[in-house]
Structures are given as C-alpha cells and as structure tokens.
Chains A and B, each alone.
Chain A
Amino acid sequence: MMNMLSINIFQNWLEQTHGIWYVLVLAGIAAIYLGFFAVAGLMLVYLERRVAGYFQLRLGPNRVGPWGLLQTIADALKLVSKEIFIPKMADKLLYKAGYYIVIIAALLALAVIPFARQIQALDFNVGLFFISAVSSVGVLGILIGAWGSRNKYSLIGAMRSGLQMISYELSAGFAIIAVVLMAGTLKMTGIVEAQKHTWFLFQGHLPAIIAFMIFLISGTAETNRVPFDLVEGESELGAGFHTEYSGMGFAFFFLAEFINMFIISALGATLFLGGWLAPFGITDGLPAQWLWGMIWFLLKVFVLIFLLMWFRWTFPRIRIDQLLTLEWKYLLPVGLVNTVIMAWIVWKDWLIHLG
C-alpha cells in the first residue's frame, strides 16, 4: 500500500516534468539527504561524546580538528578500513541483511520529517503513519542480524529488542494519537501548521503534557538508549545484538542508533514543540524564512537530543521484567485513558488557542 502510493507520486511527478533531468535532480536531492544524515549522525556521535565528557568530569574528544569536530569522521574512516568479519557459523545472508535493514529503515523515516516550510523530502497525507511504520522495521534488522550471528548473547539481546519494540510501539502510538486528535491530520506539515498559535504541548492541557512524557519515555525505549538499553546492555551481554559485528557492519548499527535518536527527537519537536515554527513568532517578519525555520527546528531537536543524552549519562539500566511492567502496567493504561480524555477535550473544543 505504502509502496504503491509512493511509486504513484513518483511516476506522476516524473510524467509532469522533463524526464532525465529531473531524475538527476531527484538523485541529487537523495544524495544530499544521505550525505546530510551521515554527517548529522557523525555529529551526533561527537555531541554525545562531548556531552558525556561534560557529565563525567572529562573533556571528550578534542584533538582531531577544531574542538575535536573531526574525531568521529576519523573514527568512521577507521571503521571503513576495518575487516568485515563474519563468524564461521553465522548465517551469512541474515548476518549481512541485518545492518542494511536497520540503516535503511532509519534513513527512510527521515524522508517525511519537515525541516522548514518547504524543506521536506516527501510530504504526503499519512506521513506520521509512515514514520511509525518504517521505524518499527528497524527491529527486524536487529532480530535477523542477531539471529544470523549465532551468538547466544546476540540472541538474548535480539529477544529483548523484540519485546521492547513491540511493547513501546504501543504507548508511542497512543502518544501520537493524542496529537493526531488535536491536529486532525496525519500530514506532517498539517500538524505543524495546526500549531501556528500554540504548540500542542500547551494546546491540549495536561493530557498533551502526559502524552509528551509518554512519548519521550517510549521514544527512549525505542531507540534502545539508557535506561532502556537492555538490547545492548554492555555489562550483561557484551554488546548485545551487535556483538559479532565489526567494521562498517557495526558502524551501520551505531549510526542507525543515532539517526533513530534524531528521528525520535525530530518527531517530538514536530508533534509537540511546533516543528519549524518560531516561539511566539519572533522571527516571522525576517527574510530567509526557510533558514529560520531550520534553525528553530534543529534547536528544538537539539534540546530533545540533549535530554536523551542526559538520561543516558545519569540513569542506571532497568531490568527486562521492570521494562515490561512499566509498559504494560503503567504507560499503556495511562496512554489509553489519556487518549480518551484528549478526544473528549477535542470534541468539546476546549483546546487552548493563544494569540
């Protein structure tokens, strides 16, 4: 369904235009996108290490390039040059398919994220649905990659990953539904435009704030970060699902984790914090609106990413049964009730509209 839809759009677009030239433009845009996110992923790794250094009374990378900015690029180059090692007993096809699925799922989800008013690769009417569908494909890559590794630690990690994703996808879904109820659309730009006067975080009274918190918790869980990093759980499982991966195989998993973190934060910024919109419209009259939009959007994303990093460097890891208890006994019922309350608020038109 999703496939056909996007192919139709693609075909229509090509037919309306002048053929090969626009295909090249399209390829160029894709290349820019990929390049941007590879660099963004690397920069996030750099950021994480600096933030970790800040939290841990140390400096973090500060030798390669100015302020150590090129450190992760050097690391990536090192990883590229490394041997891609496949364990003897591994299922080669699954082993290799694992990281491709993970990285492709991560990159696909980026397609519908609106950076500014016109800056978005694909803006179609079920964008939000597309994101939540595509981002849960990633777990499949983790599962088959870990299964293919033929390593018990990987397998334990993969099983945890499956449990975790299936569980937390639900409460993330309910948090998103709360926003969809307010916006009345699944289209990403539509969601942002609906926050023109007030961000959804404040528009929906307490239920919106609860939805935001549920979204943050389940988003952290979906990106497998502390305190929900049981999938890797380096002190228990070595490295969890990517124990057997080396070189770029490992780098893909690593990069995917950071891109996923970006996606969750971008989604949070779009859904709850008004996406590219400036707070109180303070930059509305200025020229180069697309640039201001991007700046505001990335700033909001950064705040959320910093929050996720803050979690990571202060919290211990929870146990698998506590993870499931948290989801099924607390988050899911709260999310359900919250959605009903939100529907009631929207039905009664009690939303707050400032300005």
Chain B
Amino acid sequence: MEPNTQILSTEDLRSQEYFLNMGPQHPATHGVLRLLLTMDGEIVKNIEPDLGYIHRGIEKMVEYDTYRQIIHVTDRLDYLSSHINNEAVALAIEKALEVEVSDRIKVIRTMMDELTRIASHLLWWGVMGMDIGALTTFMYAFRDREMINEIMEKTTGARLTMSYNIPGGVMFDLHPDFVKDVKAFIPHMRKVLPEYDRLLTGNIIFQRRMKGVGYLSAEDAVSHGASGPVARGSGVRCDIRKKAPYSAYDRVKFDEIIETGGDNLARYQVRMREMYESLNILEQLVDNIPEGPYQMPMRTLIKLPKGEFYQRVETARGEFGVFIVSDGKKNPYRVKFRSPGLSNLNALIQAGRGVKLADLVAIMSTFDFVIPDIDR
C-alpha cells in the first residue's frame, strides 16, 4: 500500500462545528432556559438563547388586575427576590398616590429586603458550587438559608413567595420573635461566611476555574444593560440603593461593592462581600425599628392618577424596574417589568463566547439567572 504522503494542513484538521442543545432540561440552566450552542469540540462558538418556556404573559395578565393584585404576581418573577419585587410595585403605587409611609414600614421593608438578598445569595452560592462540581456547598448554604426562611415564615406566613408588601405598608406587623431571630442570625452568618471561604473560595481548583474566565468589560456591561453583581463585578457603579435610595436605604451606612476584575471571580466576590454589607445594614436597623403604624390608611380599590410611574429597586440579581402606565382606571393601562435577567442574559452572550463548555456553566452560575424573571 502506498504510504499517504499528503501533508495535512491545519485547515484539513479542523473539526466540524455542531449544535448542542443546552436545555430546557439541563441541570446548569437552573430552570427552563434553553441555549442553542454552536460548538467546536469543547469550545462554545456562539450562544443563542431560546426563551419562553416559562412565559406566562404576566405583563398582559396584570392589565386585568387591580393594583393590589399586581403585587402577588411579582412574587413569581424573580422568586428568590420576591420581597424586593413586591416592594417595587408597592413603592410605585405609593409614589403615584403620593403617600408617605411611616418610618416603621420603611425599616421593615429594608430589613426584609436585605434578608431576601442574603437568602438569594446563599442559594446562589450553593448552586454555584454545584455547577462547578463541589456538591457540598449546596447543603451548607441551605442550612443557613433555612434560618432566613424561618424568620420570613414567622412574620409573613410564607417562605418564598411572601407577598408581604401591600400598597401603603406591609401586610402584618412584625412577629414578636423577629428582632430576637435576626439578632441570632447575624452572628451566625458572620461565623459561617469565613467557613464558606475556607470550603470553596480558597480552593485552588476553584480559583483556577474562576480567574480570568468569562471576562466582561465595563463598557460591555453598561452597553448590554447588565446590572447588579454582574455589572459591579466589572467595576460599574450601578447600585440603585445608592443611586436612587428608596425605603430606609438613605439612612443606613453601607458600601457599594465594586470589583474591577470583570471575570467570574469578581462577580463571585461581589456577591460574597454583599452578604457582609447586608449584615451591616441589618445590624444597624435591628435595634432601631421605630414605632408606628405598619399600614397607611388607603382605599381598598386603588385608582392611580393618569400618568406614568417608574420605580427602580435593587434586587439580588440587579436592577428591577416597574413601569406603570395608568389611565386613571382601577386597572393599569400597561405595566412593564424591567427584569435584570433579560439584560444580563444579553451580557452572557458576550461573556460566554469562545469559552469551554464547562466554563460556560460556571459563567452562567456567576450571572445567577432566575428563568421566570427572564421570561416573565
């Protein structure tokens, strides 16, 4: 047999690109996100998201709801930040009606916000570890998240979709145990956060998997509309709590966490450090819950004046906005929920191009998507 003397060029050796269908049932997409990947071997060449697997048409639905009912729908957007979503709607309605709520309500809302944020970040930390193969993190995170859930349950009656805010206040007064529980929770959390660092952050494999992966520049982050820890990991100052303080955020001292790395590790560190900041905020408020009514007198059937009202809040995932267009009736004319997820997904397409499949999973978990928030 003739030996094959033809010299192969690198062009001939190139592998064939193929499509990989990631999702809607895939463990790393945390829900029903579907990504159509164009792959070259292990390398992701292009990402095309295919959304809508959990699209419920909430924006259409709420056009037929009264303003009090809208709040309960927002739980189902970003279910891990449900309290903050509720608050955005409540604040928008209060802004439209020019109702000034009592200090007690503001403080309660702020504390609940921060508890929600910690709970959300804890869940993120747990599944983040799972996404890169460290299975133990999940259980640690859930142990501590359980404490928050119990605090929530005592006061609001629900663990996840709380619907605690109503226009002009909160639904119930704080449970008598609330202060005691929060005071027990803060030192516990300060004790376990370093433990988390020992378990995962310091691990050499983890560091190698995170550093320099999924780079997103500050310009790209802004242009792609990224917000929250994703944008702050790229060095963009975008914390709504600082930019446009709502509730009691103007009276507490806290730092806006900025990391300039723009990679997975930066986004990871932003969330880890944010938990400390949330604890700081809780600590400042827990002893100073003012007396006062927990609900402001409001009409049962709320009618907003004609106009457009926008309220921005900072959820655990980024900037959440409620845009209400009212024509003076009992139902809104149009409601738009600005979800952090959809814009962050935009940034993922940028950050996830040209990485390995395993890295894409890691990047997705540092972007921390909640799919109902994207689909709405």
Which A positions have Cβ atoms within 8 angstroms of B? 52, 55-58, 152-153, 156, 226-227, 229-230, 233-236, 238, 312-322
A316-B206 contact in complex given A235-B131, A235-B361, A236-B361, C-beta closer than 8 Å: yes
Q: Which residues of A contact B133 (CB under 8 A)?
A: 226-227, 229, 233, 235, 315-317
Q: Answer yes or no: B302 CB below 8 A from chain A CBs.
A: no
Complexed CA–CA distance, A226 and B27 (Å): 17
A317-B132 contact in complex given A57-B143, A236-B357, C-beta closer than 8 Å: yes
**Which residue on B lies nearest to A318, using beta carbons?**
B205
14 interchain pairs, CB-CB under 8 A: A56-B135, A56-B138, A152-B20, A156-B42, A226-B135, A227-B205, A235-B132, A238-B26, A315-B133, A315-B205, A316-B133, A316-B205, A317-B358, A319-B209
Chain A min CB distance to B339 (Å): 24
Complexed CA–CA distance, A153 and B208 (Å): 24
**Which residue on A lies nearest to B199, using beta carbons?**
A314
Is B358's CB under 8 angstroms from A56's CB?
no
Q: Which residues of A contact B209 (CB under 8 A)?
A: 316-319, 322
Complexed CA–CA distance, A121 and B162 (Å): 64
Chain A min CB distance to B257 (Å): 23
B118-149 residues with Cβ-Cβ distance < 8 A to A are: 129-136, 138-140, 143
Choose among A52, A153, A236 the residue that contacts B358 (Cβ–Cβ < 8 A): A236
Q: Which residues of A contact B138 (CB under 8 A)?
A: 56
Is B136's CB under 8 angstroms from A313's CB?
yes
**Which residue on A lies nearest to B210, using beta carbons?**
A316
Q: Answer yes or no: B28 CB below 8 A from chain A CBs.
A: yes
Nearest 3 A/B pairs, CB to CB:
A317-B133, A56-B139, A316-B134
Q: Mark B191-203, 1 if CB is under 8 A from A, else 0.
A: 0000000011001
Q: Which residues of B contact A318 (CB under 8 A)?
A: 205, 208-209
Complexed CA–CA distance, A55 and B199 (Å): 11
Q: Answer yes or no: B18 CB below 8 A from chain A CBs.
A: yes
**Which residue on B lies nearest to A53, using beta carbons?**
B139
Is B27's CB under 8 angstroms from A313's CB?
no
Chain A min CB distance to B252 (Å): 33
Is B205's CB under 8 angstroms from A238's CB?
no
Choose among A230, A238, A316, A321 the residue that contacts B27 (Cβ–Cβ < 8 A): A238
Is B26's CB under 8 angstroms from A319's CB?
no
Chain B min CB distance to A317 (Å): 3
**Which residue on A lies nearest to B129, using beta carbons?**
A316
Q: Mark B340-356, 1 if CB is under 8 A from A, else 0.
A: 00000000000000001
Which B positions have Cβ atoms within 8 angstroms of A? 18, 20-21, 26-28, 42, 129-136, 138-140, 143, 199-200, 203, 205-206, 208-209, 356-359, 361
Q: Which residues of A contact B132 (CB under 8 A)?
A: 235, 316-317
Is A235's CB under 8 angstroms from B139's CB?
no
Chain B min CB distance to A154 (Å): 12
**Which residue on A lies nearest to B139, using beta carbons?**
A56
Most chain A CB atoms below 10 A, which of B20, B131, B133: B133
Choose among B18, B200, B359 the residue that contacts A152 (Cβ–Cβ < 8 A): B18
Complexed CA–CA distance, A55 and B143 (Å): 13
Q: Which residues of B contact A233 (CB under 8 A)?
A: 133, 358
Complexed CA–CA distance, A236 and B199 (Å): 22
With contacts A57-B139, A233-B133, A322-B205 known, what are 9 further pairs, Cβ within 8 A? A152-B18, A229-B133, A235-B133, A235-B361, A314-B136, A314-B199, A316-B129, A316-B132, A316-B205
Q: Which residues of B contact A319 (CB under 8 A)?
A: 208-209, 356, 358-359
Q: Which residues of A contact B135 (CB under 8 A)?
A: 52, 56, 226, 312-313
Q: Which residues of B contact A56 (CB under 8 A)?
A: 135-136, 138-140
Q: Which residues of A contact B357 (CB under 8 A)?
A: 156, 236
**Which residue on A lies nearest to B130, using beta carbons?**
A235
Q: Which residues of B contact A52 (CB under 8 A)?
A: 135
Chain B min CB distance to A66 (Å): 25
Complexed CA–CA distance, A156 and B20 (Å): 10
A235-B27 contact in complex given A156-B357, A319-B209, C-beta closer than 8 Å: yes
Q: Which residues of A contact B42 (CB under 8 A)?
A: 156, 320
Q: Which residues of B contact A156 (CB under 8 A)?
A: 42, 357
Complexed CA–CA distance, A200 and B194 (Å): 40
Chain B min CB distance to A140 (Å): 21
Chain B min CB distance to A277 (Å): 35
**Which residue on B lies nearest to A321, using beta carbons?**
B356
Is B28's CB under 8 angstroms from A235's CB?
yes
Complexed CA–CA distance, A98 and B250 (Å): 64
Chain B min CB distance to A94 (Å): 20
Choose among A57, A153, A315 the residue that contacts B134 (Cβ–Cβ < 8 A): A315
**Which residue on B lies nearest to A229, using beta carbons?**
B133
Q: Which residues of B contact A230 (CB under 8 A)?
A: 358
Chain B min CB distance to A293 (Å): 36
Complexed CA–CA distance, A167 and B18 (Å): 26
A322-B134 contact in complex given A56-B139, A152-B20, A315-B203, C-beta closer than 8 Å: no
